[in-house]
């Protein structure tokens, strides 16, 4: 049996979906399954050069892309007219959309969730897409966390479930609370995750990096104050280019993400280069990892700010303990978030969607 999947995405989720597509293609090629799964990615609205790696890039195809300051910044796209893509969409077994980011209600957090009911399935696509989506039997709504979707997650979940979508997500919090199928990005092997933070030597100070996009949402002030009061070196960067952020992680022994109850891709990237993960994780998220067969989370148990303080103090006092955590985290993430493993998870998920 062949599974054909079209992923419609825009902005941030594009990167994760492109990694999924490549993981599946790689896995399929390695296991002689290239005819068994056909997964393609269409981008409605993009803003980084890497989005060009999609199979169909909306406004590039239609020639309406604008280039601002060297980066392609696309206009709102309403005319996906590539005939090949439309044909694929009509015939695809599954269409996956990535709600929230870029959609009108997501841009305005004050908009009451009730307005969701008045909005078409995927407002960023034109009527033709709406028709195709409504007619599809197998549909997936894939959530890549953002503050706006988080605020209205119950309304989103209800809306898409009622419209016949299967819910999936890239993040642990949605996976446990929405709930939704956990389809994280693969971490290994990826060239940008290469290199490794040094194992902490006995005479090394503890260095902890922290690279939030939104410091007000990531307990940044508390973290920096704790480091100051514990004599720990904090490497703090916000809104800096990806390569700079990865360099900071490679120069650290630990990485602090936030205290919101689950971890973001930042934690995975930190572990990928050998940082101890410091992140507030709810017991539900820890249990979820175990039930998903991913084993125990390889970082200190942290839920609250005082847990974080204790974890920092403990690591600071123990270079040996830091090294042990570093090794464990590195091993775990490269096993559990390996490209092949994620590809298998995705294929199993899409087969499950078809079996519904």
Binding residues for another protein (CB under 8 A): 203-205, 207, 224-238, 240, 248, 251, 309, 313, 317
* Residue nearer to another protein on the CB measure, 171 or 209: 209
**CA count, 13 A, side-chain hemisphere, 77:** 29
Q: Helix/strand/coil (H, E, C) string of 269-337? A: HHHHCCCEEECCECHHHHHHHHHCCCCCCCCCCCCCHHHHHHHHHHHHHCHHHHHHHHHHHHHHHHHHC
Whether 257 contacts 211, CB under 8 Å? no
Residue 201, number of CB atoms within 10 A of its CB: 11
Q: How far is the CB of 243 from another protein (least distance, A)?
A: 13
* Residue nearer to another protein on the CB measure, 181 or 312: 312
* Residue nearer to another protein on the CB measure, 226 or 272: 226
Q: How far is the CB of 296 from another protein (least distance, A)?
A: 26
Which tokens belong to 316?
């600071």
Write the CB contacts of 236 (distance below 8 Å, at least 6 apart in sequence): 209, 210, 211, 220, 224
Q: How far apart are CA 58 and CA 345, in angstroms?
A: 28
Phi-psi region of 313 (alpha: psi -120 to 50; beta: other; left: phi over 0): alpha
Q: How far is the CB of 69 from another protein (least distance, A)?
A: 12
Which tokens belong to 30?
């390695």
Query: 252-272 burial, b if ≥16 CB within 10 A, otherwise e?
Result: bbbbbbbbbbbbbbbbbbbbb
> Rg of the chain's alpha carbons, rounded to an integer?
21
* Residue nearer to another protein on the CB measure, 158 or 237: 237
Q: How far is the CB of 27 from another protein (least distance, A)?
A: 38
* Residue nearer to another protein on the CB measure, 266 or 339: 266
Residue 317, number of CB atoms within 10 A of its CB: 12
- Residue closest to 47 by CA, chosen among 64, 61, 68, 63: 68
* Residue nearer to another protein on the CB measure, 36 or 221: 221
* Residue nearer to another protein on the CB measure, 248 or 353: 248
* Residue nearer to another protein on the CB measure, 180 or 275: 275
Q: How far is the CB of 227 from another protein (least distance, A)?
A: 8
Q: How far is the CB of 282 from another protein (least distance, A)?
A: 25
Look-up: residue for tokens 């060009």? 52
Q: How far is the CB of 335 from another protein (least distance, A)?
A: 30
Q: How far is the CB of 234 from another protein (least distance, A)?
A: 5
């Amino acid at each position: 049996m062949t599974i054909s999947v079209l992923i419609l995405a825009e902005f941030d989720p594009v990167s994760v979906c492109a990694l999924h597509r490549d993981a599946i293609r790689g896995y399929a090629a390695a296991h002689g399954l290239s005819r068994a799964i056909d997964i393609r990615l269409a981008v409605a609205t993009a803003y980084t050069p890497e989005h060009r790696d999609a199979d169909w890039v909306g406004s590039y195809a239609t020639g309406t892309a604008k280039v601002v300051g060297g980066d392609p910044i696309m206009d709102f796209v309403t005319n996906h007219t590539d005939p090949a893509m439309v044909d694929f969409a009509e015939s695809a077994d599954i269409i996956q959309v990535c709600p929230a980011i870029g959609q009108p209600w997501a841009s305005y957090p004050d908009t009451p969730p009730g307005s969701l009911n008045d909005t078409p399935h995927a407002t960023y696509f034109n009527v033709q897409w709406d028709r195709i989506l409504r007619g599809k039997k197998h549909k997936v709504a894939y959530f890549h966390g953002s503050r706006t979707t988080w605020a209205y997650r119950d309304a989103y979940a209800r809306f898409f479930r009622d419209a016949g979508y299967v819910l999936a997500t890239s993040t642990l919090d949605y996976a446990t609370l929405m709930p939704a199928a956990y389809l994280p990005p693969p971490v290994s092997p990826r060239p940008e995750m290469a290199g490794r933070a040094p194992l902490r030597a006995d005479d090394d100070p503890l260095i902890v990096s922290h690279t939030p996009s939104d410091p007000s949402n990531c307990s940044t002030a508390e973290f920096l104050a704790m480091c100051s009061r514990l004599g720990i070196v904090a490497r703090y960067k916000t809104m800096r280019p990806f390569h700079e952020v990865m360099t900071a992680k490679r120069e650290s022994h630990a990485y602090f993400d936030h205290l919101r109850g689950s971890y973001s891709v930042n934690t995975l990237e930190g572990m990928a280069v050998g940082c101890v993960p410091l992140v507030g994780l709810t017991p539900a998220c820890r249990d979820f990892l175990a039930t998903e067969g991913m084993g125990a989370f390889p970082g200190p148990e942290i839920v609250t700010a005082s847990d974080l303080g204790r974890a920092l103090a403990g690591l600071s006092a123990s270079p040996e303990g830091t090294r042990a955590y570093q090794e464990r985290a590195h091993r775990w993430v490269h096993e559990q978030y390996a490209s092949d493993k994620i590809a298998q998870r995705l294929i199993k998920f899409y087969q499950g969607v078809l079996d519904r």
